[in-house]
Structure 1
Amino acid sequence: MDDSQSAQTLHGAQPLLSRLVHYAGLLIGLAGLFVALVAFGNLRPDLAILAYGFVVGFVAFLPLPVREVMRIVEAPAPVLEAPDNTDTVMAAFAEALGEACLVLDQRGAVAYRNRAALRQYPNVQPGKVLTLVMRNPDLVSAVDATLRTGMPHSFELHETLPSETWDRVTVAPIRQPDSDWLSEGGRHLLVTFQSLTELKRVDAMRTDFIANASHELRTPLASLLGFIDTLLGPAARDAVAREKFLGIMRGQADRMSRLIDDLLSLSRIEMYQHVRPTGSVDLAALLREVREGLQTQAKAAELDVVLSLPEGAVMVTGDRNQLYEVFENLIDNAIKYGADGKTVDVSLVHIERGGFKHLVSVIDHGPGVEPEHVPRMTERFYRIDAETSRKKKGTGLGLAIVKHIVQRHRGNISIKSRPGEGLRVDVMLP
């Protein structure tokens, strides 16, 4: 008997063994009963052995509960290694692919899965029919069509659980050149999964960005056009109205100018996102300079910017202009939205945490924000209160710019806030 016949015999014996295991409690209890009857002289030993053997045989053919039957039916047959090196070569080829890859046999069962497939689809186990584990209609059609025709098929697989993902799935035959696919023995299929998730997310982000930028520019532009038409028409000779409208127009033009400047700044940062800065910056001196530059805003808001810095220079590797923009943005936001607290606290301390060495904290004591807003505050154009933000001349891009600059410097930014407790922004740099 060869290895495959032995495996089939072993697999076929599973129901018999499962029945005996399932009713083991009953068999043990009856064995104890027969032993007691023999001990008290109520039954001869040979008759007890014969009767117990009859009971075991009877139990072996009792029906199992449906749950136990399904477990046995769904259990995969043992996967045996081929005596030649065909499977070894196929496994080496699958592991060489950087993407998730499965090798199917002519029944559509998984013969091999590489490490990437194990991480991505842990439920797809060798020996199981792929289309019974991944019940996707497009996948079923592609596998069936390729097995039937020997021609490759591909489609886009979109899954929403446990998280939303997209993959380009290709089902291709593994065949010898100029061979008849239908007459081949031991036909195999190669199923590859090329991730499209990141591309889809970037595309969605780009679409949202264009829509938001267009909206942000359209609003002040519409106001300008409206006031220009008014000045050319009904208010052409009204000096008071002209002065009022020109002031509003100047404010709208300034708003568009700030928005364009922020868009260009964000574009430049993203262009060099992968390039780590190489300059040297004194972080303590930089924070003092930022504070001096914002004194006018702080006095207008009737609050003080309080610095807590170590003695001497604190040197970090970075782009000075970009780091200045980071802390100018954070302290300016704290002045605008935390004026109720009368102070903005800025501190710089040395840390040893996850590869980071410097922690800059900007804390205001204003009204704070609801916890559900905090994770989204660094998104482009995300505003907690759009009207308040526009009145304070915000573009909705400030924290997005901060996040990208910090990421370029291989740092990390975290925001913490609760209503009535102000807002704290921590920037960690290596």
Structure 2
Amino acid sequence: MIPEISHSILSGMPLPVLLVGRNERVAAMNAPARAMFGPAGVGRHYIAVLRQPALLDCVEEALRLCQVRRVRYLTTGISRDATYEVIASPLGTRGSEGVVVAFSDISEREQMGQIRRDFVANVSHELKTPLTALLGFIETLRGPARNDAAARERFLEIMEREAMRMNRLVSDLLSLSRVEAEERMRPESRVDLGAIVRAAVQALRPVAQEAGVEIALNIPSEPVFVQGDSDQLTQVIQNLVENGIKYGASGGEVRVMMTLSDRELAFRGPGVRVDVIDRGEGFDPVHIPRLTERFYRVDNHRSREMGGTGLGLAIVKHIVNRHRGRFRIDSTPGEGSIFSIMLPRA
């Protein structure tokens, strides 16, 4: 038996905690621990309750050596996998009352670490390809193609394209970093979203003409005010329209539509919606949940050939989040895609 005060302490702890007595049986468990290991664990041998070998070794060493021991505990639940840091600490004089086993959920920390590792790996991969090409062409120009004017001109053109690709990637990385840093700071300026959309579309008309795409603009003539950052909202519209031109060019047209709502369900108040619609090839909707991940592409080769960095939609998502808006993507193979942003009106 353990003192009543120990029961009170265990019950008041938000983390899963259990007490293993000197007789190697579970003497007490708080509610989170019962939810993890089942309500019938009290009174049973800890081996029958904990089961995972690494965790059993941790508790056994804490009992035998009367020293604090740590281990990672992995569990698979119905909704998600979880990683716990487990600390087994002797209780009482030289562990006279057993061992307290506490579980701290570090799943989010582990996930963030994995995201950082993946990000570094992706950036390295994206930079390595153009760098390798540049080094190869430089070596060729210094050697076999030293006196070949036609080859030199062709190689310099490719080198310029690869250098511009790296420059776009670095620019997008810096932009993404700034947007993420400001994501929790809501913009304070009052801006005309209609004017921003017109200016962004006008700037991209030469790009559209070169690709053989017509941009159709359908927005209200009166000002539509939102609380926002003019530069960031311009970046959102340009990214979406440019994507429509690049990947929906086969449809020959990109439509930009703005609609107003007196009561947008997402904000429970007046809102504005901007849709960028193309009639290109579209893509399988299975990709939609991951399209806003950094460096995720539906077609890696095609995206790189067109100069895409894989960061555009991630930037859009973070900017829309900063403006307390919503970002939605719909696509049907063979019918085109719709990229929509919804913002609360000021």
Q: Into which bin does the TM-score normalised by the smaller protein fall?
A: 0.7 to 0.9
Q: Report the counterpart of residue 157 of structure 1 in structure 2.
A: 73
Residues 427 and 193 of structure 1, relative CA distance in 2, 3 Å threshold:
farther
Amino acid in structure 2 at the alignment position of 1:102: V
Equivalent position to 1:354, from 266, 277, 283 = 266
Q: Which whole-Å CA distance do the structure 2 matches of 1:363 and 1:128 have between them?
A: 64
Q: Is the 8 A contact 2:88 2:102 kept in 1?
A: yes
Q: Which whole-Å CA distance do the structure 1 matches of 2:37 and 2:199 have between them?
A: 54
Alignment of structure 1 residues 309-328 onto 2, 5 Å: 309-328=219-238
> In angstroms, what is the RMSD of aligned CA positions?
2.7
Q: Report the counterpart of residue 102 of structure 1 in structure 2.
A: 17
Residues 181 and 359 of structure 1, relative CA distance in 2, 3 Å threshold:
same
Q: Which whole-Å CA distance do the structure 2 matches of 1:364 and 1:312 have between them?
A: 25
Q: Report the counterpart of residue 10 of structure 1 in structure 2.
A: none
Computing the radius of gyration from Cα coordinates, the structure with the larger value is: 1
Q: Report the counterpart of residue 42 of structure 2 in structure 1.
A: 127
Q: Is the 8 A contact 1:101 1:190 kept in 2?
A: no
Q: Is the 8 A contact 2:16 2:103 kept in 1?
A: yes
CA drift at 1:164? 2.6
- Consecutive unaligned residues of structure 1, counting only runs of 5 or more, are 5-81
The share of aligned pairs that are identical, in percent, is 40
CA drift at 1:327? 1.5
**2:342 counterpart SS class:** strand
| 1:217 corresponds to 2:127 | yes
Q: Which whole-Å CA distance do the structure 2 matches of 1:147 and 1:180 have between them?
A: 9
Residues 412 and 228 of structure 1, relative CA distance in 2, 3 Å threshold:
same
Equivalent position to 1:208, from 103, 106, 118 = 118
Q: Report the counterpart of residue 399 of structure 1 in structure 2.
A: 313
Q: Is the 8 A contact 1:113 1:126 kept in 2?
A: no
Equivalent position to 2:181, from 271, 278, 293 = 271
Amino acid in structure 1 at the alignment position of 2:54: D
CA drift at 1:381? 1.7
How many equivalent residue pairs?
Answer: 336
**1:294 counterpart SS class:** helix
Equivalent position to 2:55, from 125, 136, 139 = 139
Q: Taking structure 1 as the reference length, what is the TM-score of the superposition?
A: 0.70
- Consecutive unaligned residues of structure 2, counting only runs of 5 or more, are none
Q: Which has the higher contact order (CA 8 A, sep 6+)?
A: 2
Q: Which whole-Å CA distance do the structure 1 matches of 2:212 and 2:61 have between them?
A: 74
Residues 188 and 239 of structure 1, relative CA distance in 2, 3 Å threshold:
same
Q: Which whole-Å CA distance do the structure 2 matches of 1:110 and 1:375 have between them?
A: 46
State the Cα deviation string for residues 2-46 of structure 1 (Å, max 9, x = none): xx9xxxxxxxxxxxxxxxxxxxxxxxxxxxxxxxxxxxxxxxxxx
Q: Report the counterpart of residue 422 of structure 1 in structure 2.
A: 336
Q: Report the counterpart of residue 111 of structure 1 in structure 2.
A: 28
Amino acid in structure 1 at the alignment position of 2:277: I
Equivalent position to 2:239, from 329, 334, 339 = 329
CA drift at 1:168? 0.5
Structure whose residues are more often strand by fraction = 2
Q: Report the counterpart of residue 8 of structure 2 in structure 1.
A: 89
